[in-house]
Amino acid sequence: KNQVEQSPQSLIILEGKNCTLQCNYTVSPFSNLRWYKQDTGRGPVSLTIMTFSENTKSNGRYTATLDADTKQSSLHITASQLSDSASYICVVHLTGANNLFFGTGTRLTVIP
């Protein structure tokens, strides 16, 4: 069964600290993996997209890694800011089909 699981479900960190969010997937065959940031009551916004052959991709303070062998991805946030408080969603695209598999997200709260 194609699934995308994210951990932790929620996370609270102090402003300025780093954190890492995890995504494990069983989707196969795999085309690409995306990380989105969703502010409360808003639509998701893309942070990174990685294909099978990419191991890491950065977008400012956000760095995503991908291990296609173990089917794991992580999103590392450096020097967190209050505006990083949001849900972070991992999405995996199934090759050759119009199918995206969404994780349930990690709710990150950054406190001063």
Partner 1 sequence: SQTIHQWPATLVQPVGSPLSLECTVEGTSNPNLYWYRQAAGRGLQLLFYSVGIGQISSEVPQNLSASRPQDRQFILSSKKLLLSDSGFYLCAWSGEGIGEQYFGPGTRLTVT
Q: Does 46 bind partner 1 (CB under 8 A)?
A: yes
By CB under 8 A, what part of segment 47-76 binds partner 1?
49
From the CB of 35, what's the least distance to partner 1, in Å? 12
Distance between CA atoms of residues 68 and 14, nearest Å: 31
| Burial grade of 27 (CB within 10 A; 0-12, 13-18, 19 or more) | buried
Distance between CA atoms of residues 94 and 28, nearest Å: 6
Among 27, 89, 108, 110, binds partner 1 (CB under 8 A): 89
Q: Which parts of this chain interact with partner 1 (CB under 8 A)? A: 4, 34, 41-46, 49, 89, 91, 93, 98-100, 102-105
